[in-house]
Amino acid sequence: MLLVHYLLSSLAREITASNPIQYFLNRNKMQDSTITANQNVSNPDAPTKESDLSDTTRSIHIVTTASLPWLTGTAVNPLLRALYFQKSRTSPDAKVTLVIPWVERKEERQEVYPNHQFADGKAGRKEQEALVRNWCAEKAGMEAEAQSLRIQFYPSTYQKKLGSILPLVDICSLIPAEGADVCILEEPEHLNWFAMPSYSKDLHKKDDFLPSNDIGWMGKFKHVIGIIHTNYPAYARSYGVRGSRTLASKTIHALSTLVCRSYCHKVVKLSATLPVFARYKECVCNTHGVRSDFLRKQGSEPDTVEDGARVYFIGKCLWAKGFNFMLQCEEKFKAETGDFFPIDIYGGGPDQEAIKRSFFGVRGSRKDSLDEKDDTVMVEKEDADECNVEDNNTSQNTSADDKNSDDESDHHSEKMSAYAHLSKIMLASMPFLSEEIENEDETDGKDEGKSSTFQSFKDGIQLMKRFPKESFHFDLELIPRTRYEWRKTPIPARFLGPVDHAALKFTPHKIFLNPSITEVLCTTTAEALAMNKFAIIPVHPSNEFFYQFPNCLAYKDMDEFVAHMKYALNHEPTPMTEELLYCFTWDAAMERLVEAAAITNSQKIQLEEEGRIQRDIRKAWIHKESGKMIKGELLKGIVGDAPQENLVSYDIDENLNTFTYLSFEKSTGGIVAFLSFLLAIISYFLQR
């Protein structure tokens, strides 16, 4: 009876006219008029009115997954994008709103922002908002825009096991319907993985062919752009539990694909290294710029770093950043030239001590002769990590402040189990995802350290045999863990800690070495090239944007790397033309975004004729229906308890005097929720 009732109520909503035949005739007539209007488009290559971001009178909402003082790519780049949108507005009615997370629980805020203690509730949000505005004025040099930019918060939770901030509410429902024009979702997949409970009912938009009105972002905004920052499927594959990592990766990719198609009119990928999400409405474009500090001319006050190696690296000290390859490059270079090339390494991270041991050898790393100078430009931790602002698949792996991770292995295990748990929940609550997952065997790469570890073990046994038994002391610090730690000749490297990358502009550092291939788009490479330095980087889809610049030296193999390093050490970087320098500015990035976000009239016609738009709206409905299944203890197992604060306090206009609290408990019985979800799936496949 429940199923029949649901079917009849859904059908009654569709056929609102008293005469069903007249209803279908009117519907066909509307479709015919749409096709006729499409055929009369004068300029098929012009962008549609809804997708034209060059109109400076439009209002913009930018929604992101992180915020300052966490200096990660998804916090800084959306903020700068919002400031430049605000700078270009020409109408007082055109408003730019940055929607950022507020971590509700105090203990979680301490994890994300260890150097900042915000108060609870509204007072804490005011403190964080003031910090964001001060950064905009002081670091970005945009004081006027910092004051006029609107900032809205949404309740969220920091999940340490995932290293990510997750929303606790349907963010779209928090945004007032008035002024909802253009929306940019930074990491749309991350924002929408789970259909969270809604705050208000003004989200609904009548649609004449769906049993449900609640279709999310595309129902509220005229144009929604999703910008993909992070390769979460690759991240799940790297940190997943062995034996299930492929399934976890494919599940997360399937769900990410579903929500990107459901809630975005256009999907923009920062580089081609990202997988396909919606081929019919996605493109690849670098929509980021660099701060003006990196483009400044040398003034009367030089930077305080006056000496150092000509080669440097800046970023997190993680093996994933390509330090293994960097060590191989050092050895190859020494084999051909007779010497290592000196290098200065800026940054910190959980793998720093292990990396030091590999550069200096076990005995060399125990000495305190690292030649680290006290006059190096060291900055306060939260500012220093700006050198690590990158868009990559580990960008939200650590907090903004580098901390000692003595429990690194435990944290790694937590991540592995967290992604397996996340995958299991996704498949259990949304079984239709299994149809999106291709059947292919797990192809784990070979264990690169297997042969070398075995050899190290054999050598260690031989070494131990030579010690007199009565004087042998088992010192873990003296046992090499990689073959690099056996080296007798240390590599001339200095580990100088975090530093603002812009402070290295006028220094002897002229060669930026970045062997990493884990990034989606490496901000530090763009910053180095903008400062007129050589950038030696691998040939990889994530680096394609940089090939156009003369000082970019991309290598395909070790021999080409050595050739590039020899050239860079013996030559000076080519001075950048004003035209090339402009490519790094945020003004140029905004122009690229306007072009990438556009949907032409001819493209819209094609999408309508192929039924893509209708199918994507049905996908949104299915995802919303799935939210009815993820409630109670299941939802609490993912994000914890529901927001405890009155959600009206998150309203940006503060014009409501009511009280609204969310509950994660199921409002309907499990059988009803299951039948509703089942009906959604059946309806979707019947209408494909």
Which burial class, exposed, middle or buried, applies to 429 when counting CB atoms under 10 A from its CB (0-12, 13-18, 19+)? buried
Q: Going by C-beta distance under 8 Å and a sequence separation of 6 or more, which residues neighbour residue 557?
A: none
Q: Which residue has the tokens 């609904």?
A: 204
The residue type at 26 = N
SS3 content of the chain, % helix, strand, coil (to 5): 45, 10, 40
* Contact between 524 and 501 (Cβ < 8 Å): yes
* Contact between 213 and 32 (Cβ < 8 Å): no
pLDDT of residue 630: 63
Q: Going by C-beta distance under 8 Å and a sequence separation of 6 or more, which residues neighbour residue 427?
A: 251, 433, 434
Nearest alpha-carbon partner for 677 in 338, 430, 475, 384: 430
Q: Which residue has the tokens 């309806």?
A: 683
* Contact between 311 and 494 (Cβ < 8 Å): no
Rounded CA separation 561/572 (Å): 17
Which burial class, exposed, middle or buried, applies to 128 when counting CB atoms under 10 A from its CB (0-12, 13-18, 19+)? buried
pLDDT of residue 661: 54
* Contact between 69 and 112 (Cβ < 8 Å): no
pLDDT of residue 49: 95
Residues in the chain, pLDDT under 70 = 1-41, 199-214, 239-243, 299-307, 362-422, 425-484, 628-638, 640-644, 646-647, 653-688
* Contact between 496 and 345 (Cβ < 8 Å): yes
pLDDT of residue 402: 39
What the block records as the tokens of 380 is 């306060």
Rg (CA), the chain: 27
- How many other C-beta atoms are found inside a 10 Å radius of the C-beta of residue 130? 11
Residue 198, helix vs strand vs coil = coil
Rounded CA separation 320/15 (Å): 56
Residue 469, helix vs strand vs coil = helix
Task: Write down all domains in the chain, each with its CATH number in brackets.
Answer: 46-289+593-686 (no CATH), 304-403+478-584 (3.40.50.2000)
Q: In whole numbers, what is the pLDDT of the chain averaged over residues? A: 76
pLDDT of residue 428: 66
Provide φ and ψ at 518, rounded to 5°: -95, -15
Rounded CA separation 249/220 (Å): 31
Task: Give residue 218's Cα distance to chain centre.
Answer: 21
* Contact between 601 and 42 (Cβ < 8 Å): no
The tens digit of pLDDT for each residue in 586-606 reads: 999 999 999 999 999 999 999
* Contact between 664 and 228 (Cβ < 8 Å): no
Nearest alpha-carbon partner for 608 in 154, 36, 12, 46: 36
Rounded CA separation 279/284 (Å): 11
Which pTM value belongs to this model? 0.76
Rounded CA separation 601/608 (Å): 11
